[in-house]
Amino acid sequence: MEPLIETKTGSAKNCCDDTCCTPAENTAELKQIVQERYAAIAEGNIKTCGEGSCCGGDEITSIADSYEELKGYEKDADLNLGCGLPTQFAGIRKGDTVVDLGSGAGNDCFVARHETGETGKVIGVDFTDAMIQKARRNVFKLGYNNVEFVQGDIENIPLPENIADVVVSNCVFNLVPDKKKAFEETFRILKPGGHFSISDVVTVGELPESVRRDAELYVGCVSGAVQKQEYLDIIAAAGFHTISIQKQKRIDIPVQISRKYMTDEQLEGLMKDGLGIYSITVSAVKPEAN
């Protein structure tokens, strides 16, 4: 699936409009768009709206799960940009060092901090300076001395090897052009025996091109989701084992999008076969050192 970007960077468009996005020209352009788009979100120039609605104006569609029942949740750090609850499944223990890749305003970091306690440490890594600044303001307000935020590219994580007991990430790897490199970097920073819990967007089956394009526009103008099996194969190739799907849910695309291109009979067949775009939360372990 080709990454999609806004044709006019820095301006929010209605992602139900099939003219708002075009294929990214190259990796550098895609990364620039990610930075500009998420800086606009951090600064409040783009907002998220509820799942199942067709947003317009300065809004994007949210496919996020609710964090409100999780201990450590901080509303000011929740920008509704995720697609799962990786910290809920991460098995974080007291005293762990946790790294959140694509940490945004700090949402998962603060939940992880509750789990690891005062004796642990949480490090958030994000590509966008505006997000880092927002997260740092949040941690200053909360008064935590064991949560820090570092700006960096998760294809080249600015942390030493073997630093993390647990890595979490929420709907970020789909934005990364080189997923192979990102998972290799995740492997590098994990301690032997450490593990990750990552929520992300993948596809299942070959959707009709026209349906797939409109669906991508609906769930977000920057989208680089790949086939589920390809995603799992990338994880295995990076050296991880004990790979498991902790949660999977279909991302519901409004019927009016599919009906633009498909008959009711074709749509029924697609749903029956389980094809579509999914949010998965996947876990894997770095082998113990020999």
Q: What does the H/E/C string look like for 119-142?
A: CCEEEEEECCHHHHHHHHHHHHHH
CA–CA gap between residue 180 and residue 173 (Å, rounded): 10
Contact 289, 192 (CB under 8 A): yes
pLDDT tens digits, 22-46:
444 566 666 666 656 655 665 555 5
**What residues have CB less than 8 Å from 140, skipping those under 6 apart?**
none
50 pLDDT band, cuts 50/70/90, is: very low
Q: Which alpha helices (DSSP H) does the chain contain, by range?
A: 27-42, 86-89, 107-116, 129-142, 179-189, 209-219, 228-237, 255-258, 264-272
Asked whether the whole model's pTM tops 0.85, one would answer no
3-state secondary structure of 244: strand
pLDDT tens digits, 192-205:
999 999 999 888 87
Mode of pairing for the β-strands spanning 97-101 and 164-170:
parallel
276 pLDDT band, cuts 50/70/90, is: confident
pLDDT tens digits, 159-183:
999 999 999 999 889 888 899 999 9
Residue 94 half-sphere exposure, CB side, CA atoms within 13 Å?
3
The token pair at 192 is 């032997």
Name the superfamily (CATH) of residues 4-285.
Vaccinia Virus protein VP39 (3.40.50.150)
Extents of the domains making up the chain = 4-285
Contact 81, 64 (CB under 8 A): yes
- Give the position of tokens 């006019």: 8
CA–CA gap between residue 147 and residue 144 (Å, rounded): 6
